[in-house]
Amino acid sequence: MSYFDAASSAPLHPVARQALLASLDEGWADPSRLYREGRRARLLLDAAREAAAETVGCRPDELRFTPSGTHAVHAGIAGALGGRRRVGRHLIVSAVEHSSVLHSAEAQEREGGSVTRVSVDRTGRVDPAGFASGLRSDTALACLQSANHEVGTAQPVAEVAEVCRAAGVPLLVDAAQSLAWGPVEGAWSVLAGSAHKWGGPAGVGLLVVRKGVRFAAQGPTDERGYGFENLPAIVAAAASLRAVRAEADQEALRLRELTERIRGRVPRLVPDVEVVGDPERRLPGIVTFSCLYVDGETLLHELDREGFSVSSGSSCTSSTLTPSHVLKAMGVLSEGNVRVSLPFGATEEDVERFLAVLPGTVAGVREKLGAPTSTTTPAVQTDEFLVDSLGKRCPIPVIELAKVIGDVPVGGLVRVLSDDEAARLDIPAWCEMREQEYVGEEPADRGTAYLVRRLT
């Protein structure tokens, strides 16, 4: 089995396993106690904090360990907003942040605050000018991820941090995806990370608050902060972060070559594919692409049967049946979406086997769905065609659109009726890929009518 979903959770690093087992025997006592076992545990905790701080690039007294990366994000945002409550209750986030950041933003709005969501371009990258224009006199905090978890695009953190510094606004960086590869550059104020993203154990996050940043922890607190420390997991998290960082430069070169191989060959091997994300400013191990006329859940199941564990931002794999907010913000195709995120140590042989299996797997899924092929014979042409896809989920509305576009003359119109939210993203994306004109949408008695004009 080839595990290609390291962006969700990286396999436990051997150093983490060794440190975890060793500290189970040495670090079980209360590190706040003064007897021998407590002192030994305190030495382990302090050493872990110092090692993590050195790797992150901060002072040890600026770093605290949390029960998870999500907890670090929530605590960081709440504390920074609380510390600057007198300034105002305005929060700025990018449209492609991790759900933990967006959920905090929603909570801010429910509690009477305001939120500005900065848009991204088609590669998923923010423009620092977008953050600059969003700053207000009552802005308490800005949030920006260091790199995107779904498409791998690296964000201009240093530039945004400088914009925020000039305005006197702290910047919180969600660095969960990038800490394994190097420190976060720029004058950021608060940083959050998650150990299981870099090969440490789950259940450990880290939160860094720079000295001088106004910060007021929210909710019930006590002298132990987040409670009794999971010391063995903390020691393993710090040890593994140092270990992966030592290997990062060499491993980044190797994984970047493998992901570039996927990015370059998938569009040649599989027709009607859109590779998404910034082609250059990106994490080394992530490559994401979307396949027209493919049901994402079925494709992931078929790849799993072939021995590959991958993930997807497709609405077809979501319990809510809505497209990924990242793909939606980018305005790219969401159907048949596949994210390949290679772990440290992924082999060339596994990548080549994936490239060999993928074309037949996609073709099989398309055939089951009755997707159009290059040999499909157009019917008698008519100036306007109605496609009723009400009650049908992605990618069926797009498949039915593709089947009938040849039935209208150049300049003719196809009206697609759909009540699937994904159609609002996938039909315009299909038009761009197939060089047809997306005219827009209009209300219908049920669902929405999406209008497409044939150009070619």
Point out the catalytic residue in the list 58, 143, 164, 316.
Answer: 316
Q: How far is CA 16 from CA 204, 244, 338, in A?
A: 12, 10, 29
- Which amino acid makes up residue 360? G
β-pair type (139-145, 171-174): parallel
Cis peptide before 271 (omega within 30 of 0): no
| 12 contacts: CB under 8 Å, gap ≥ 6 | 199, 200, 201, 240
Please state, in angstroms and rounded to a whole number, the distance separating the CA atoms of residues 333 and 314: 9
Please state, in angstroms and rounded to a whole number, the distance separating the CA atoms of residues 402 and 370: 11
Residue 21 three-state SS:
helix
Please state, in angstroms and rounded to a whole number, the distance separating the CA atoms of residues 396 and 406: 17
Tell me the angle at which helices 423-434 and 396-404 cross, rounded to the nearest 10 degrees: 40
Buried b / exposed e along 330-340 (16+ C-beta atoms within 10 A): bbbbbbbbbbb
Residue 430 three-state SS:
helix
Known catalytic residue at 316: yes
C-beta neighbour count of 147 within 10 angstroms = 25
β-pair type (384-388, 337-341): unpaired
Catalytic residue numbers, as ranges: 316
